[in-house]
Amino acid sequence: MTTSHALFEKAQKVIPGGVNSPVRAFKGVGGTPIFIEKAQGAYIFDSEGKRYIDYVGSWGPMVLGHNHPTIIDAVLKSIPNGLSFGAPTAKEIELAELVCKLVPSIELVRMVSSGTEATMSAIRLARGYTKRDKIIKFEGCYHGHSDSLLVKAGSGALTLGQPSSPGVPEDFAKHTLTCVYNDINSVKAAFEQYPDQIACLIIEPVAGNMNCIPPKEGFLQGLRELCTQYGTVFIIDEVMTGFRVALGGAQTYYGVTPDLTTLGKIIGGGMPVGAFGGKKEIMEYIAPTGPVYQAGTLSGNPIAMAAGLACLTELSKSGNQEKLANQTQILAQGFKSLADKHNIPLCVQYVGGMFGIFFTEQEKVENYQDVAKCDAEKFNTFFHKMLKQGIYLAPSAFEAGFMSLAHNEEDITLTLKAADHAFAEMK
């Protein structure tokens, strides 16, 4: 048995910061990251055997819970046939058909290996299709780490206090216009300034990389109208929200139709998968049918396709989305009433299977400026008090929490009991 502390020391000698993705390092919340040995259902177990109720779920993919038998079985069945062919397979068609069925705005879909690749490729496609260079994104939204998108990006970049990263040439960043989430006037202003230069607008339909911020009523529809008016490709980034906010993604939940959609996380059931898809006319503009280049050696990997197909098939079963949303609501409202009991100002926001807790007097948190006003120190204290009691929340005040179908009533009760203790100590 090796402690997480010892593993972290060892890791830092060979891996930058000891981690393969920055938010894992606990930089924002302080302390030593826990090293995971194994996971099962709603639980993860660290290298010392301690069990935690997990509300990170590998940052979203584990919507059915860890090690779900249907997914494991599909992966094990697929392995003996070979790990990668770099040639087409029938499984790719099956997954593509299911995605097109579940997300009606998607007519054609291309598989990639991560969310970053999905958004990067969708943006290149939109630029090629419109023959324009500029893009619009929103402050606090994160869409992966490609150059055009690391401009005032959220997620790890926010936590580390680097709104845009060194290494991104100014010449790239200048094509990225950053608007204010939930503020349609900031978007109108951008379009009025560059009426025929904006290739695409990309948005998280529920922002999950600055904690959890739902769109205001009519905001997404307003974006749709502006994009149509200015001939701009409307991209809804459902890497986080896809199959979690609703089976058809946040776009069906809010009744808005994008031109392109990006997917990741759940679509791979825990294996490295992303996808982008949408209108046939635009999607046919990528190679080999069109001139915009995009490719991938491991794209449509057979094991990943088997895992994704099993995950989406299982998740599609009747009642699952309602259960996910219901459990999330019970947990979120539970946090809120306990905070009220202890006179701790707290705002909770949730949609479908994702939630956010903000230590703030504000009744609503609607954009990055509002998030920045929250008490990050209080979050850090709360995070560690929960961790000590075996509750694993996202190690950052800028990340949403994720519910899974494996969480049961007892898990939620235990979580709220732990929160009750934590709040009592924080008074």
Catalytic residue annotation: 142, 237, 265
Report in angstroms how near the CB of residue 237 gets to ligand PMP at its nearest.
5
Binding mask 112-151 for ligand PMP (x = CB under 6 A): --xxx--x----------------------xxx-------
302: Cα separation from own chain's centroid = 23
Report in angstroms how near the CB of residue 272 gets to ligand PMP at its nearest.
8
| 258 dihedral zone (left: phi>0; alpha: psi -120 to 50; beta) | beta
Report in angstroms how near the CB of residue 204 gets to ligand PMP at its nearest.
5
Nearer to ligand PMP by Cβ, of 110 and 143: the residue is: 143
DSSP symbols for 298-367: TTT-HHHHHHHHHHHHHHTSTTHHHHHHHHHHHHHHHHHHHHHHTT---EEEEETTEEEEE-SS-S---S
Is 352 one of the binding residues for ligand PMP (CB under 6 A)? no
Window of 232-240, 318-326, 336-344, 374-382 that interacts with ligand PMP by CB under 6 A: 232-240
Return the closest-CA partner of residue 237 out of 142, 367, 100, 127: 142
Is 314 one of the binding residues for ligand PMP (CB under 6 A)? no
Is 209 one of the binding residues for ligand PMP (CB under 6 A)? yes
Window of 26-34, 62-70, 104-112, 235-243 that interacts with ligand PMP by CB under 6 A: 235-243
Candidates 204, 259, 314, 366: give the one binding ligand PMP (CB under 6 A).
Answer: 204
CB-CB contact of 59 with 16 (8 Å): no
Report in angstroms how near the CB of residue 354 gets to ligand PMP at its nearest.
10
Q: What does DSSP say about strands 134-138 and 51-54: parallel, antiparallel, or unpaired? A: unpaired
Nearer to ligand PMP by Cβ, of 112 and 422: the residue is: 112
Instruction: Retrieve residue 156's tokens.
Output: 């790890």
CB-CB contact of 30 with 378 (8 Å): no
Strand partners, 277: 109, 261
Is 396 one of the binding residues for ligand PMP (CB under 6 A)? no
Type of residue found at 352 = G
Q: E strand or H helix at 199, and its extent?
A: strand 198-203
Binding mask 255-274 for ligand PMP (x = CB under 6 A): ---------x---------x
Residue closest to ligand PMP (Cβ):
115
Instruction: Retrieve residue 311's tokens.
Output: 């995950």
Instruction: Determine the Cα–Cα distance for residues 189 and 174; give it in Å rounded to an integer.
Output: 16
Tell me which residues in 170-199 interact with ligand PMP (CB under 6 A).
none
Candidates 7, 151, 240, 422: give the one binding ligand PMP (CB under 6 A).
Answer: 240
Nearer to ligand PMP by Cβ, of 96 and 263: the residue is: 263
Tell me which residues in 45-64 interact with ligand PMP (CB under 6 A).
59
Instruction: Determine the Cα–Cα distance for residues 109 and 277; give it in Å rounded to an integer.
Output: 4
Is 415 one of the binding residues for ligand PMP (CB under 6 A)? no
Nearer to ligand PMP by Cβ, of 203 and 412: the residue is: 203
Instruction: Determine the Cα–Cα distance for residues 322 and 327; give it in Å rounded to an integer.
Output: 9
Cα diameter, the chain: 62
CA dihedral of 382, 331, 33, 426, whole degrees rounded to 10: 10
Candidates 62, 75, 235, 239: give the one binding ligand PMP (CB under 6 A).
Answer: 239
Nearer to ligand PMP by Cβ, of 26 and 230: the residue is: 26
Residues that bind ligand PMP (CB under 6 A): 59, 114-116, 119, 142-144, 155, 204, 208-209, 237, 239-240, 264, 274
